[in-house]
Structure 1
Amino acid sequence: MNRTLLVSLICLFLNILNSSVAQPLVDSLRMELEGYKLRDTVRVNRLNKAAYQLFTVNLEQIPPLLEEAILLADSINYDYGKAEGTRILGLYYYYHSDFDIALDLYDSALKVNKRAQDHSIEASCLNNSAVIYYRQGNYPRALDFYQRALRIFEQNEDQLGIGRCLDNIAIIHSEQKDYKNGIEYFQQSLELRRSVGDESGIGTSLNNIGELYFELEEYDQANTYFIEALAIKEKVGDQTSIASILRNIGLILLEKNDLNSAIDNFSRALEVSESIGFKYGMCMSYIHFGTVYLKKGDLNLAKQNTNKGLHLATELSLLDEITNAHSQLSEIYAAEGSFRKAYDHHVLFTQYNDSIFNSENIKRISDLENKYLFEKEKQQILFENEKEQLVLTEDNKRLQERAQYNFIGLLIALTLLFIIGWFYVTLRQLTKKVKLKNEQLKQYDNEKNLLIGLVAHDLMSPINNIMGLTGIVLSSEDGLQSDNKKYLGYIQQTGQRLSHMIRRILDVSAIEAQNLQLNMEEHDLSEILQGVAFSFQSTLEKKGIKLSVSNTNVANAVAKVDKDYLIQVLENLVSNAIKFSKPNTEVKLLLSVEADTLTIRIQDEGPGISEEDKKKLFGIYQKLEAKPTDGESSTGLGLSIAKKYVEAMDGEISVQSELGEGTTFLISFPRG
């Protein structure tokens, strides 16, 4: 059910639009554009307004209007008009699921808006970008953008904007399975929308609350909210939300085993989605059909519908739906006795679920990128050569036309000889550089092959375990009995270890190839610590460990860092602290200032580190004597990567520890 919250996000975007605008109003705006020919700020605003209204009428007429608005605004230095047009264009690409293009457009709009200083544009771009980061599973970054947008909405007393942010923060809580807190945020949003009379927004909030009650398995309560939300959405004509709510009601009927009624609701949802070209809704309906027919025992219809859903999910790059479709196909093939196909789909499910990247593909991409850089330099040399030839041709023509001016002709000839000599020397230098670059590329390739060889031994062990355990299950004659289920559990654990190893190898490859791109900006370290602590809630609860965050004597904790890489370093160190901590102990995140230096401390009550281990602590592929308390695995790469990231940001990392006394890692940055 959580995946249907994504539809709620789409609804939140559409709620921004004025859904009550009819075709006559759009025609009126077009007449205004045709009657107003001046190329000024008024025309820019009318173009943007017309494009915005077209979201409820015809999406494909939007881009030409916005392209004219953006170009005109740029030509007359109208920053507000350019930022607004770029923001609306980002919304258009989001609606078409082109998320990377949408993110680039929101970022461009924010940069232009720094000059325009319009708070509504800034907050909208932050909120919309956060929705995409949520879709991509980057919850800390999504939460950061939501909070930044929320502060702007609150400062400007924008009640509808506050409501949208509350909804989005609630959805992140639900992804962390914190449904009760999610319901509280949705209830706050519902009351706010009722106070301002936002009817469509009220329907969205009711649907969101119903989805969280569904996750809590309180189906009757959930159904009450869905029915009320459906009535409102049908009244305002929000077809996207209608399709979503019909699917939600169908899922409740599915849980109650009322399969025929569930099919009726999924069919209505599919019809609505097809009528508006809503591919995400069509994808979800087909997958739900597959679930119903699997329960009914009609395996052919189950396969047909699930494969249709998988096709659409692949087209839209919906990772969650691709993963679920493969899992469902594995169940279907197992039910009909096609165990080989069931196994193949289960492998695909595991790969998508664990986000395992194919190392051969990564190497191929890296090779292509290197070849591209080489060809780019080669083409640059050829371009310079052609340019110089054009210069020579033009000069010779002028010499022929002005032959009577012997002195001038001689001077031009000497100049040309100098240019030719300079070009010859420059060409030789560039040729040497290209040759050197080619040798460096070969060296990098050898280093990557050596890296693969170094970890081959560690990788072969889990691979052999997977192959051995799989052989036991597949050769069994008695089906999946309890022992075989245990073996499948071992397969899953081993696969997770393999995934972790591969991720670390890719991190090392990026660092060693010097492809590390930093985005250094000033950030409040206390806010970053709070976000990191929030992301470990489920892990802490599972292991029974407390995590506290404390800021001591820090009035202004701003430092210039790359936020994404710093979060990765902190998450690695906190994860290690949790691994080596016993239940009922505490991990502390401390932030302090000393002179002009900000220091972060990650402190645990674990077994501590010996003096011998301290010497090799930040080396690559180093294993320590201490072992994680729950048998967690490690590639030995994490701390070496953390050290490189910190030093790349002009910081320092060190450790303080004694055996039996716990461990404290210290990260220091110059104060902003």
Structure 2
Amino acid sequence: MAGVLITSGCSETGSSQTDIPASNQDSEAKGTDELLETYIRNIVLRKVDENEPVIAEMTALTESAPTPYNELLLDYMRLQSKFLRGEIAAVEREVSALAEAAAVSGNDVLYLATVSLFVNVLSEQGRMGSARDVLEETLTKITPVEFSSADILVRRAKARLYQGESEYLSAIQTIMPIVDYFEGQNEYSILADLYGDLALIFTNIRQLDEALSWHERALRLFYANEDRVGIARTMNNLASFFELTGEFERSADSLQVAIAINREKESWLNLARNYYNAAMAYKDMKDFERAAEHYRLGLEMSERVGSVLGVMFNTYGVGEMILNKSGDIEQARQQFISALEIAEEVEHNGIRTNSLRQLYEIEKSIGNYQAALEYHEQFLEMTILFQERARDTAIQDLMIQHDVEQTRNENLLLSERLVFEETTSRNRLTIIVLLVIGLVTAILFVVYALATKKRLQKAFVDIKNQRAMLQVQNEQLEKIGQERDGFLHIIVHDLKNPLSVIKSSVELIKEDLQDNPLVSLVERSLLRTDLLIKSLLNVFRMDQLDVMNQLERQQSDQVIKRMRNEYTLVAKSKNITLHCRCDSFSFNTHLESFQGIVGNLISNAIKYAPPNTEVWVDMSREEDHFRLSIEDQGPGFSSHDMDKIFKPFAKLSAKSTAGESSTGIGLYSVKTSVSRLKGEIFVEKSRWGGAAFRLKFPFLPLAEPEAEIVD
């Protein structure tokens, strides 16, 4: 696909034929383009069986007029049909060349349909990066007509790609406009499919109530349409739902229904997925015999249809079952190596991590400690990566939950408003009718007076309701923020246990590999991770403190003296001179927060300042506030750094001068602590070209003690 140029945009009908030779336009374009639109429309609406006569008609037309354009359309229809039957390997060999030919055909609809097919094939093989590149390159050159058949194909391919990369919020945002459109069109065939997509996404992000609601909607429509393939797909997805709720037998039963239907329909790709999911369910039920059998069937079917991901998942599962059943370590080892190779090729971090862990355990059990250490080192790297991914996923899940709750609340408020308006209109009509009957002579005056009164009342009620809505939304946002912080705190806290297990493992290995430099590397990595976890837990702890009710009177020069003593030795280790100047005055502050601010800034200055330089700390009093300044002779901050200095985990341009580690949350902690103490913080270039942090704090009053109740 690289290098393909698109010179025409979509017309109102979704295709452009300016590049088709004139001789072809009259004789073939009209008829063939109509067949293409019909074929794609049937795919979009899940009316695949109705495409058999379309292909037959296209075949007859091509035989009677064997032009390159006709043959290209026929090739696309045949490849798309093979993909729907699960013949991935067969489609893979031809789809790239077909997409390049379609790019220069002059028909944008054909090109977009072919690219969508290409992206789906790449996604099925786990090549998400390549799929994204192909799709983004295409959409920079051509824009489909909104909600045309080609546009729906592209959106579905994009949503599938987002799901494969765990970008669930983007997937929802891509699918929902299609759902809204087809609900307005009453196209229930595709709506059932789209409901199933949303159900699976919400299952993956553990929004189980929302997921079950979409599952039920999809299943009702599939049964109403007598769509057995759709029923099989929903039963497969419901199995994942039951796995999360711990209902393993229901999961296995749902999958057996899906297996029976897909065997009957010869839907081999879906059957391969069913076998794997059934194996997982039986494994959770401790029925290892049936689990091993379904892993084997899933592997055979995945190899048959050319599903790289299916081969990877089932190969790993076969390895697990070999260890559980026969204990044949060498045979299991080969399965895990094969799964690891595929996982590295398609960049699937889950199977890669699990395979590394299994190989580490196998090599350790047979005394091959060098290989075990290599696998363990890679496993630790993947574990750290997973921790970062888990944090990002948790934040994304909270964002999705917030969007879902906000949409639900907006719909509820809209419904209540419509009911209110309907009731108001009905009451108004009744009053007008009664006035007309009873007060014929005064009708104009009364109607005018009542109408004016109602408008004023409605305006007052609207203003009152809007204020109430804003208050409710603010409370909801505050609650969501608290839940997010609590959820992130739980994640960080729970990371301490697996980190302790890893530390213990390193200590066991260290005794046998005392001179191996890799042990030191692992220990340093663990130290950095432990420091990050402790820093995060401290940030969460400080967030929970009510600092304004815990203020204490402090003496400025004593506080600065303690901080200087604490960091003098650190500064001397780099031959850095630490200068401290302070006016002597009393002030009220939360001591732990204030010392954390000063300590973080002094530590940062020493960390990034070169050896044989100086750091200055200055604290001075003014009329109604006091100032704190920390300056160094380091590299300072670039213009690109200024917008993200106080953001957590921001990557800044400066590097520590002695290899000191950084958690990425020090300055974020400083910013939040300054805000809690009602202060302000600014960053600028110091007099010597380094960084200068300027802080300003008001003089805070001590909290008044609660009055004692005397009996």
State TM-score, norm by structure 1.
0.51
Superposed CA RMSD in Å reads 5.2
Q: Which moved more, 1:221-230 or 1:173-182?
A: 173-182
Structure 1: 5+ residue runs without aligned partners? 1-13, 358-464, 478-487, 502-538, 544-575, 586-605, 623-635, 648-652, 666-672
1:81 Cα deviation after fit: 3.8
CA distance in structure 2 between the aligned counterparts of 1:128 and 1:500, rounded to whole angstroms: 42
Say which SS state the counterpart of residue 543 (structure 2) adopts: coil
Amino acid at match of 2:227: D
Matched, 1:207 2:169: no
Match for 1:323 among 342, 348, 353? 353
Q: C-alpha separation between the residues in 2 aligned to 1:614 and 1:108?
A: 45
Q: Does 1:235 align with 2:264?
A: yes
Distance in 2 (CA, whole Å) between partners of 1:618 and 1:640 is 19
Q: State yes or no: 1:301 paired with 2:331.
A: yes
- Deviation digits for residues 469-503 of structure 1 (CA, Å, limit 9, x no counterpart): 766332569xxxxxxxxxx99976744767999xx
Aligned mate of 2:191, from 162, 171, 195:
162
CA distance change for structure 1 residues 469 and 237 in 2, over 3 Å: closer, same or farther? Answer: closer
For residues 604 and 156 of structure 2, what CA distance do their matches in structure 1 show?
39
Q: Which whole-Å CA distance do the structure 1 matches of 2:45 and 2:364 have between them?
A: 45
Q: Supply the distance in 2 between the matched residues of 1:500 and 1:178 (Cα, whole angstroms).
A: 30
- Distance in 1 (CA, whole Å) between partners of 2:214 and 2:674 is 45
Residues 1:350 and 2:380 are matched in the alignment: yes
- Post-superposition shift, 1:121? 2.7
Contact 2:242 2:251 in 1 (8 A): yes
Cα 1:582–1:657 change in 2 (3 A) is: closer
In the alignment, does 2:81 pair up with 1:53? yes
1:133 Cα shift? 2.5
**What SS does structure 2 have at the residue aligned with 1:292?**
helix
The one-letter amino acid paired with 1:308 is: S
Distance 2:151 2:531 in 1: 42
Question: Aligned letter for 2:104?
Answer: L
| Cα distance in 1, alignment partners of residues 101 and 235 from structure 2 | 39
State the distance in 2 between where 1:620 and 1:644 align: 21
Q: Distance in 2 between matches of 1:343 and 1:620?
A: 36
Aligned to 1:581: 543
Q: Give the C-alpha shift of residue 213 in structure 1.
A: 1.1
Contact 2:179 2:194 in 1 (8 A): yes
Q: What is the letter of the counterpart of residue 643 of structure 2?
A: K
**Hey, what's the Cα distance between the residues in 1 that align with 2:600 and 2:531?**
25
Q: Find the residue that maps to 2:323 and give its secondary structure.
A: helix
SS at match of 2:104: helix
Q: Distance in 2 between matches of 1:61 and 1:25?
A: 21
Alignment match, 2:643: 643
Q: Contact 2:238 / 2:254 at 8 angstroms: preserved in 1?
A: yes
Q: Distance in 2 between matches of 1:646 and 1:159?
A: 50
8 Å CA contact retained: 1:66, 1:86: yes
Q: Map of 1:416-427 to 2, 5 A cutoff?
A: none
* 1:122-160 Cα shifts (integer Å, max 9, x gaps): 333233223223322333333333334444444444434
Instruction: Report how many aligned residue pairs link the two structures.
Output: 424
Post-superposition Cα deviations, 1:255-293, rounded to whole Å, max 9, x if no partner, equal 333333322222222222222222222221211111112
Question: How far apart in 1 are the matches of 2:240 and 2:51?
Answer: 31
Does residue 473 (structure 1) correspond to residue 474 (structure 2)? The answer is no
**Separation in 1, partners of 2:288, 2:323:** 11
Equivalents in 2 of 1:500, 1:104: separation in Å? Answer: 39
2-side partners of 1:664 and 1:172: how far apart? 43
- Partner of 1:581, secondary structure, is helix
> What one-letter code is carried by the residue in structure 1 that aligns with 2:244?
E
> Counterparts of 1:179 and 1:217 in 2: how far apart (Å)?
12
Q: What's the CA shift string for 1:377-397, capped at 9, x where partnerless?
A: xxxxxxxxxxxxxxxxxxxxx
Give percent identity, aligned residues only. Answer: 16
In structure 2, the partner of 1:602 is none
Shift of 1:190: 2.0
Query: Cα gap change, 1:123/1:27 in structure 2, threshold over 3 Å: closer, same or farther?
Result: closer
Where does residue 114 of structure 1 map in the other structure?
Answer: 143
**Cα distance in 2 between the residues matched to 1:344 and 1:37:** 59
Name the CA distance, whole Å, in 1 between partners of 2:197 and 2:296.
29
Q: Which residue of 2 aligns with 1:132?
A: 161
Q: Would the aligned equivalents of 2:313 and 2:339 in 1 still touch at CA under 8 Å?
A: yes
Equivalence map 1:476-555=2 (5 Å): 494-495=528-529
Could you tell me which residue of structure 2 aligns to residue 68 of structure 1? Answer: 101
| CA distance in structure 1 between the partners assigned to 2:262 and 2:268 by the alignment | 8
Q: Deviations over 1:369-418 (max 9, x none)?
A: xxxxxxxxxxxxxxxxxxxxxxxxxxxxxxxxxxxxxxxxxxxxxxxxxx
Contact 1:243 1:281 in 2 (8 A): yes
| Displacement after TM superposition at 1:219 (Å) | 1.3
User: Which secondary structure does the structure 2 equivalent of 1:355 belong to?
Assistant: helix
Kindly state the Cα deviation for residue 205 of structure 1 after the two structures are TM-superposed.
1.0
- Residue in structure 1 matched with residue 611 of structure 2 by the alignment: none
Q: Which has more radius of gyration?
A: 2
Describe the shift of the 1:656–1:580 C-alpha distance in structure 2 as closer, same or farther (beyond 3 A).
closer
Letter in 2 for 1:643: D
**Residue identity opposite 2:362 in structure 1:** I
- 2:277 maps to 248
Q: CA deviation at 1:328?
A: 2.0
Q: Tell me which amino acid in the other structure corresponds to 1:123.
A: I
Q: Which amino acid aligns with 1:52?
A: Q
Match of 1:436?
A: none
CA contact (8 A) 1:323 1:349 kept: yes
CA distance in 2, matches of 1:218, 1:323: 27
Q: What TM-score does the superposition give when structure 2 sets the normalisation length?
A: 0.49
Cα-to-partner distance string for 1:289-320 (whole Å, 9 max, x where unaligned): 11112223322222122112222222333222
Match of 1:186 among 193, 197, 215: 215
Letter in 1 for 2:81: Q
**What is the match of residue 120 of structure 2?**
91
How far, CA to CA, are the matches of 2:44 and 2:295 in structure 1?
24
One-letter amino acid of the counterpart of residue 280, structure 2: L
* Structure 2, unaligned runs of 5 or more: 1-42, 388-499, 513-521, 548-591, 609-635, 648-667, 682-711
Conserved? CA contact 1:299–1:336, under 8 Å: no
CA contact (8 A) 1:26 1:53 kept: no
- Tell me which of 38, 55, 61 is aligned to 1:32: 61
CA spacing shift, 1:69–1:660, aligned 2, 3 Å: closer
* Residue matched to 1:289: 318
1:220, distance to aligned residue in structure 2 (A): 1.3
Q: In 2 relative to 1, CA 493–235 (structure 1 residues): closer, same or farther, beyond 3 Å?
A: farther
Give the drift of 1:34. 3.9
2:44–2:149 CA contact under 8 A, matched in 1 = no
How far 1:241 sits from its partner (Å)?
1.8
Q: Deviations over 1:635-672 (max 9, x none)?
A: x999985815999xxxxx9989866568999xxxxxxx
Equivalent residue letter for 2:158: S
Quickly say closer, same or farther: Cα 1:100–1:610, change in 2 above 3 A.
Answer: closer
Tell me by how many angstroms 1:94 deviates: 3.2
